[in-house]
Amino acid sequence: MKTIKIKTGLLVLLILMAWINTLIAQGDTPSEIPPERIYSYQERELEYLMTIWPGEYDNVEQMDFDGYLKKDTPKKGKHVRSHSFARRLDLPAFGNYVIYIEEYENDNPDIITKQCIYELFADEEANAIRVKVHHFKKPIPKLSAMDNLLFLKDIKPNSALLKKGCDMLMERDGMSFRGKTENTNCINSSSNSQLSIDYQIMVGENEYWFNEIKYNKVTGNRLPDQEQSTWSKLEKARCFVCMIDFPNKENGRPTITKYYIPIHDQGGKFEFDYDDGRHMVLGMRNTWSLGMQRETFVIFIQEGSQKGKTLIYSWGNPGADRIGFNPGWIRVQCDLDTPENRKLQYGLRPGS
């Protein structure tokens, strides 16, 4: 019996030594295995926020409903058409959680109204997510111009390109996160030095809201509702790549691809000239159908401008990853923008 116990003990010892040798060969020893990190509540919230925020947003749907409600002037509550980009960046100089923001208005990507870097971290003392804001002194279109962000690779918080903005505190509000300026006296209105502004945002899984709450800087009192603006609601866009084919008048295949273009489903557009000289606009929307009382995914071509005659109209289910039409005189195929779909499209029309 003793012999069996001794042999069993030796076997266990040999297995343990083999395991230790394996760890050493891999560069680890039992004492070097890091303990599991324990995240605080705000750190977990921050991790989640960073997964849902990045994307492209537009309030074209809100603008439509303004029209239905006859909100045709700012005094009547008409919103400004706004488009926003949010991109997560790897910029160690700003910490582990960094968001780049770029926004433009009135469907004009050449005029940037907001360009900044958000530095986020869990503020345990404030029991919130703190956002340190770094504005660009001279905003220039980058993502709006379909350019990359390589110019940011060496940027630091003390860069001459940046100026410090007002800190925001973000915390959970239902299924969204709400951010408010920490100090309402931090931002002064450029048009009225007597005003201060509490800039507020809401970030959800598929939407982004922003608003400016105005205060009397002298008294600290909030201005009456009739002097306030209402929230701008931007919906997250899905990005597509499209191929636009014209009839091929020469020998060979029946069509030839004239354009490979990116477009998004929250009011994205692409302008082009047809072979006969007519100017046309390809549009894409994930919109609310008043007739069917449901969301509908549509693409269409209008003549001249987005206010012109609709020449073609096609629709599908919201969430569809492909849509198109082929009336004979033009062919359009749009696929969700992925590396696989881009490769597929180029493979469908080799040499075009």
Q: Tokens for 100? A: 């780049």
Per-residue pLDDT at 47 exceeds 70: yes
CB of 119 within 8 A of CB of 134? yes
Mean pLDDT value of segment 303-308: 93
- Give this prediction's pTM: 0.84
User: How confident is residue 352, by pLDDT bands cut at 50, 70 and 90?
Assistant: very low
Residue-by-residue DSSP string for 58-90: E-HHHHHHHHHTT--SGGGTPPPPEEEEEEEE-
Taking phi first (over 0 means left), then psi (-120 to 50 degrees means alpha), and beta for anything else, what does residue 326 get?
Answer: beta
Average pLDDT score over the chain: 88
User: How confident is residue 313, by pLDDT bands cut at 50, 70 and 90?
Assistant: very high
The per-residue pLDDT for 290 is 82
Per-residue pLDDT at 350 exceeds 90: no
Per-residue pLDDT at 225 exceeds 50: yes
The per-residue pLDDT for 74 is 86
Mean pLDDT value of segment 196-210: 94
